[in-house]
Amino acid sequence: MSGRTRIKFCGLTRPEDVDAAVAAGADALGFVLWPGSKRAVDERRLVELTARVPAFVTRVGLFVDADPALVARCAEHLDLLQFHGNESPDTCLAAGRPWIKALRMRDGLDLHAAAAAYSGARALLLDAYRPGVPGGTGETFDWSRIPARLAKPVILAGGLTPDNVAEAIAAVAPFAVDVSGGIEAGAGIKDVARMAAFLRAVRGADDAPSEA
């Protein structure tokens, strides 16, 4: 997919990081509603953080096999749901809100089959696979495993940083990129300079002449 690569900053936990991410120019902000994460926010914090987000910046809530009642309550403050666990297509659809499905790139995963199964998703977020860890690993995966043509827009995640995101965009041409650890100064603490550097790297990649 060509055009400007959309940028999602994930794992925001502090008001000042939300403000900085918006000021930097992020298209979407992710809030982790999975209590096992070092970047987790509770419902009260979610309300506080999402209230700061202006129009035209997408508020994304990230869930891992969550109670549907929690998803429904949080959805009141979100524009998009990100299902990051083993949710079935029916479970994702049942939330009744726009959603994306995260897929961890374990061996043998058939992305075409997954795109067909999760046909109601607005996009597929592709992340690294580490057994027992649902996401936010800080690890990359073999980008050549992503087919050039997929029935769903691709959000590339997993170990992206200001230093490797241009290479990733050149290799995959994703619809969007998603980063968490690569823009952090510490767990759940975003770094303003790294956010800006990431944005610059993405825009540089978008403006680079293609090899085709």
Ligand X SMILES: O=C(O)c1ccccc1NCC(=O)[C@H](O)[C@H](O)COP(=O)(O)O
Footprint on this chain of ligand X (rule: CB under 6 A): 10-11, 30, 32, 34, 37-39, 62, 64, 84, 127, 134-138, 157-160, 178-182
Name the residue with tokens 């490797």.
164
Instruction: Look up 10 and say whether it is catalytic.
Output: yes
Q: What number of helices (H) and strands (E) belong to the chain?
A: 7, 10
Choose the catalytic residue: 10, 17, 74, 92: 10
CA quadruple 125, 126, 127, 130: dihedral, nearest 10: 120
Of 31 and 212, the one with the shorter C-beta distance to ligand X is 31
CA distance 175 to 182: 19
Catalytic residue (one of 17, 74, 92, 127): 127
Cβ distance to ligand X smaller for residue 11 or 174? 11
Question: Is 199 in contact with 51 (CB distance < 8 Å)?
Answer: no
Residue 85 Cβ, how far from ligand X at the closest point, in Å?
8
Q: Is 92 a catalytic residue?
A: no
Shorter beta-carbon distance to ligand X: residue 122 or 209: 122
Dig out the tokens for 13 from the structure.
């936990």
- Minimum CB distance to ligand X, residue 54 (Å): 21
At its nearest, how many Å lie between ligand X and the CB of residue 132?
A: 11
> Residue 76: helix, strand or coil by DSSP?
coil
In this complex, which beta carbon is closest to ligand X, that of residue 2 or of residue 106? 106
- Residue 172's contacts (CB-CB under 8 Å, 6 or more residues apart) are 143, 146, 154, 156
Closest of 4, 20, 24, 23 to residue 202, by C-alpha: 4
In angstroms, give the least distance from the CB of 106 to ligand X. Answer: 14
Give the residue numbers annotated as catalytic, written as ranges: 10, 127
